[in-house]
């Protein structure tokens, strides 16, 4: 059986931090703790992640301090496969160009799945770039079903 590779968008990481028992938290544990899939990320996703989770409102909601959110970020950076970010100029998310770095990481990382909570990404259903693998875009619950979790 082929190894499953997936990019998690920033919203999935934030949701996992806020609620480890929710679908995003279960996806996070499946990849980062159980090894059910290979998590793939990029410098752009990691930059956005620390910018978001270090916001005071997010830290309060997550009941975490700066050292704890920093440790979460470093854990993601250490355990995920980090692509170089060479595909940043791809323009494949027409409804929100800010989502292009997430899509670019999926294409560059040659993943089968992009797991997202973002409607602009989910509405695409797939990413198609000539010469690259087609990437399915799933919400966390659908991805958990696919994993059999």
DSSP, collapsed to helix, strand or coil, labels residue 38 as strand
Taken in order 51, 129, 119, 112, the sign of the CA dihedral is negative
Q: How many angstroms from the chain centroid is the CA of residue 65?
A: 22
Residue 100 has a pLDDT of 83
Query: pLDDT tens-digit profile of 74-94?
Result: 999 999 999 987 666 666 766
Residue closest to 6 by CA, chosen among 32, 39, 29, 33: 39
Cβ 87 vs Cβ 45: under 8 Å: no
Where does 5-147 sit in CATH, by number? Answer: 3.40.50.1010
Q: 96: pLDDT confidence band, cut at 50, 70 and 90? A: low
Going across the sheet that includes 126-127, the strands are 81-82, 38-41, 5-8, 113-115, 135-138, 126-127
Give me the mean pLDDT over the 113-131 stretch: 92
pLDDT score recorded for residue 94: 61
Write the DSSP string, 90-139: ----TT-GGGHHHHHHHHHTT-SEEE---HHHHTT-EE--TTS--EEEE-
What pLDDT shows up at residue 137? 96
Q: Tell me, what's the pLDDT at 87?
A: 60
Q: What pLDDT does residue 133 have? A: 86
In this model, does residue 24 exceed pLDDT 90? yes
Per the prediction, the chain carries an average pLDDT of: 91
- For residue 66, pLDDT over 80 is answered with yes
| Contact present, 129 and 107 (Cβ < 8 Å) | yes
pLDDT bucket at 108, cuts 50 / 70 / 90: very high
How far is the C-alpha of 76 from the C-alpha of 70, rounded, in Å? 10
The predicted model gives 31-53 an average pLDDT of 96
pLDDT, greater one: 114 or 94: 114
């Amino acid at each position: 059986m082929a190894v499953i590779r997936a990019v998690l968008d920033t919203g999935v990481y934030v949701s996992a931090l806020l609620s480890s028992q929710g679908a995003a938290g279960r996806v996070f544990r499946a990849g980062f703790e159980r090894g059910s899939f290979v998590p793939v990320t990029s410098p752009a996703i990691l930059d956005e992640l620390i910018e978001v989770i270090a916001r005071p409102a997010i830290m309060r909601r997550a009941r975490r301090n700066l050292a704890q959110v920093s440790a979460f970020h470093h854990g993601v950076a250490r355990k995920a496969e980090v692509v170089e970010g060479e595909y940043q100029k791809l323009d494949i998310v027409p409804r929100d160009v800010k989502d292009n770095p997430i899509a670019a990481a999926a294409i560059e990382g040659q993943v089968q799945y992009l797991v997202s909570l973002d409607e602009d990404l989910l509405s695409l259903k797939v990413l198609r770039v000539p010469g690259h693998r087609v990437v399915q875009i799933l919400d966390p619950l659908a991805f958990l079903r696919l994993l059999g979790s």
